[in-house]
């Protein structure tokens, strides 16, 4: 299952805002929707930057393909950040054909690796893939068994996130809760200041 983060206020926060902003039409909804969307957008940015710092995939590609957000509104005061995607084709990790096979680099902090005997091949879709024969070839009756050729893949973005202590659920819930509390206070002050200026 792909990781999904929900950002929403608790009942105590909602009740406090309902009382504080009682005279402002939809005041609590305005504050909460703005606050959870800001915290959700910040969480999405943090995830994108973290994954891009770990594996050789660009920030823009991650935002467009793998880390998405649904925004809160007055009817649903919950922002959701989705981390999706299957394993990434090895060809997208700076793959290069060399004499011994295909060279590639998955980890930002690591060096290039070699998949011996592999080759780059453009598929009917137009995309480039890295292919190699399965390594479990064996000799049967003096003849080499010909195993299938498979496309090779690196890790998925959900796998990178799920294996990070930085995004462990307990740690994430605590930090997002603190961020949301601060943002609710900020948005409450902004709304009250706007109402004060409008009333003058």
pLDDT digits (tens, 9 = 90+) for 54-63: 999 999 999 9
- Give residue 100's domain range: 90-151
Reply yes or no on whether the pLDDT at 50 is more than 60.
Answer: yes
- Give 197's pLDDT tier (boundaries 50, 70, 90): low
Region of 101 on the Ramachandran plot (φ > 0 left; ψ -120 to 50 alpha; else beta)? left
Residue whose tokens read 């060096």? 111
How many angstroms separate the CA atoms of 187 and 32, rounded? 8
Q: Based on the fold, state whether residues 28 and 67 are members of the same structural domain.
A: yes
The pLDDT value recorded for residue 200 is 42
Q: Based on the fold, state whether residues 20 and 78 are members of the same structural domain.
A: yes
Reply yes or no on whether the pLDDT at 27 is more than 80.
Answer: yes
pLDDT digits (tens, 9 = 90+) for 109-150: 989 999 999 999 999 999 999 999 886 655 555 454 567 889
Task: Quote the number of domains for the chain.
Answer: 2
Question: CA dist 96 to 30, 33, 147, 189, Å?
Answer: 51, 47, 24, 55
Q: Based on the fold, state whether residues 145 and 47 are members of the same structural domain.
A: no
Question: CA dist 64 to 57, 92, 164, Å?
Answer: 12, 15, 21
- Determine phi and psi for 79, rounding to 5 degrees: -95, 140
Q: What is the mean pLDDT of residues 38-62?
A: 96
- Give 1's pLDDT tier (boundaries 50, 70, 90): low
Neighbours of 144 (CB within 10 A): 9
Q: Based on the fold, state whether residues 37 and 52 are members of the same structural domain.
A: yes
Q: Based on the fold, state whether residues 16 and 59 are members of the same structural domain.
A: yes
Reply yes or no on whether the pLDDT at 199 is more than 90.
Answer: no
Q: What is the mean pLDDT of residues 75-92?
A: 96
Q: Which of 49, 52, 48, 60 is nearest to 93 (CA)?
A: 52
Q: Based on the fold, state whether residues 116 and 175 are members of the same structural domain.
A: no
pLDDT digits (tens, 9 = 90+) for 137-183: 555 554 545 678 899 999 999 999 999 998 888 889 999 999 999 99
Q: Based on the fold, state whether residues 8 and 77 are members of the same structural domain.
A: yes
Q: Based on the fold, state whether residues 43 and 125 are members of the same structural domain.
A: no
Report H helices in the chain: 11-20, 27-54, 59-65, 157-162, 169-198
The pLDDT value recorded for residue 145 is 57
Q: Based on the fold, state whether residues 42 and 140 are members of the same structural domain.
A: no
How many angstroms separate the CA atoms of 22 and 185, rounded? 16
The pLDDT value recorded for residue 136 is 62
Percent of residues, the chain, with pLDDT higher than 70: 92
The pLDDT value recorded for residue 25 is 93
Q: Based on the fold, state whether residues 163 and 194 are members of the same structural domain.
A: yes
Asked which of 134, 151, 168 is the last residue of a domain, the reply is: 151
């Amino acid at each position: 299952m792909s990781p999904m983060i929900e950002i929403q206020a608790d009942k105590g926060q909602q009740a406090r805002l309902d009382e504080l902003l009682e005279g402002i039409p939809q005041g609590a909804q305005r504050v909460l929707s703005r606050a959870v969307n800001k915290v959700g957008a910040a969480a999405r940015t943090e995830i994108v930057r973290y994954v891009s710092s770990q594996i050789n995939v660009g920030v823009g590609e991650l935002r467009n393909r793998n880390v998405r957000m649904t925004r809160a509104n007055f009817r649903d005061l919950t922002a959701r950040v989705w981390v999706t995607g299957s394993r990434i084709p090895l060809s997208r990790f700076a793959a290069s054909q060399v004499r011994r096979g295909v060279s590639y680099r998955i980890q930002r902090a690591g060096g290039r690796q070699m998949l011996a005997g592999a080759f780059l091949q453009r598929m009917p879709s137009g995309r480039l893939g890295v292919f190699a024969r399965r390594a479990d070839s064996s000799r049967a009756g003096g003849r080499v068994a010909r195993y299938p050729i498979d496309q090779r893949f690196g890790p998925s973005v959900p796998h990178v996130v799920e294996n990070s202590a930085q995004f462990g659920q307990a740690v994430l819930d605590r930090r997002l809760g603190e961020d949301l509390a601060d943002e609710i206070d900020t948005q409450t002050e902004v709304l009250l200041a706007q109402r004060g200026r409008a009333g003058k």
